Amino acid sequence: MVEDRRLAVLRAIVEDYVSTEEPVGSKSLVERHNLGVSPATIRNDMAALEEEGYIAQPHTSAGRVPTDKGYRLFVDRLSTVKPLTAAERRAIQSFLDCAVDLDDVVLRTVRLLAQLTRQVAVVQYPSLTRSTVRHVEVVPLGGTRVMLVLITDTGRVEQRVVECRQVPGEQLLADLRSRLNAAVDGRRLTDVPDLVADLADRFEPAERPVVDTLLAVLLEALLEQSEERVVLAGTANLARFGQDFPLTIRPVLEALEEHVVLLRLLGEASDPSTLTVRIGSEIQHEGLSSTSLVSTGYGSGAEAVAKLGVLGPTRMDYPSTMGAVRAVARYVGQILAES
């Protein structure tokens, strides 16, 4: 009973501090929340929460603010994540449905997340290690030029125009297309080099120069795409939270410039399909110790192929942010599944 009441007091402190940006006192809790107990009881509960490290007093005679430990308890005890309104859901679907390719999906997603949450949005491109081949197309362009197209299950479309050493016959290109797809269709991109290693040996010696050239370009395209990438949007939103960052916002901005740091943070969640919230000191990077990261995986099937999330100050509207991140990830997954 006492624990439930103190949790209610902590929840009220978090909600008021997020909305007002001011330390919360017992008087304001009595005025704004129907907690069903006397002001003296609330003061006692606040003293107990402070002693246990869930709230702190930033200045003498000031109200209390949540600590990282307090935010963690608040998030862990959330009974529901705030759902998006019907209008917000329609807007998300309409905006993302207009995407024309994977790059457009990623850029629209990161912009949308930044607008919905008014925080910094981070979206990882689908991971090469989790993508599979959907189709390989070999298109003659006339003369010695051939277009090689690689399409993955995550919506990646890689195109290369190849200049062959001799004019390739249409039958040769058709045979190569057929054998390539038989070998790699539905297989992981990381397995493709081994799967096509001896493919050229199945062609006549006179045909091998063309086959070798096209296979070399295919493997080169895979190598170029092996680097993991993230995109950001909404960095300017941090300017609204200047007082939430001790001394200066500069360490946060510097950390955001290091995409390797962001990829590591996104990759630290144990289950890609689970909504993960890392708060303050839980983020193992000095420049981001005053921030929180809400992230989850997205994908075209049961397995997440990449992650997306939102980073902002620890004084964050967690229920709304968590709801937005989860909803956008679901819509992106649906788009990839239909592509």
Contact 307, 266 (CB under 8 A): yes
pLDDT for position 110: 95
Cα–Cα distance for residue pair 108/110, rounded to 1 Å: 6
Domain residue limits, the chain = 2-76, 86-127+228-338, 129-224
What pTM, to 2 d.p., does this model score?
0.78
Contact 169, 140 (CB under 8 A): no
CB proximity list for 169: less than 8 A, separation 6 or greater: none
Of 302, 316, 308, nearest to 332 by C-alpha is 308
Contact 316, 73 (CB under 8 A): no
Query: Which one-letter amino acid corresponds to residue 150?
Result: L
| 86-127+228-338 CATH | 3.30.450.40
All residue ranges of the chain with pLDDT < 70 are 1-2, 60-61, 128-130, 224-227, 246-247, 268-273, 300-303, 339
Contact 322, 279 (CB under 8 A): no
CB proximity list for 99: less than 8 A, separation 6 or greater: 105, 108, 335
pLDDT for position 163: 92
The CATH class for the domain spanning 129-224 reads alpha beta
CB proximity list for 112: less than 8 A, separation 6 or greater: 92, 95, 96, 121, 328
pLDDT, one tens digit per residue, over 224-233 is 655 678 899 9
**May I ask the CATH architecture of the domain 2-76?**
Orthogonal Bundle (1.10)
Cα–Cα distance for residue pair 298/305, rounded to 1 Å: 6
2-76 and 129-224 agree in CATH topology: no
85-89 contacts, C-beta under 8 A, 24 or more apart: 88/116, 88/327, 89/327
Alpha helices in 140-207 (DSSP H): 170-184, 192-195
Contact 269, 276 (CB under 8 A): yes
pLDDT for position 300: 67
DSSP calls for 273-327: TS-EEEEGGGS--GGGTTEEEEEEEE-SSSS--EEEEEEEESS--HHHHHHHHHH
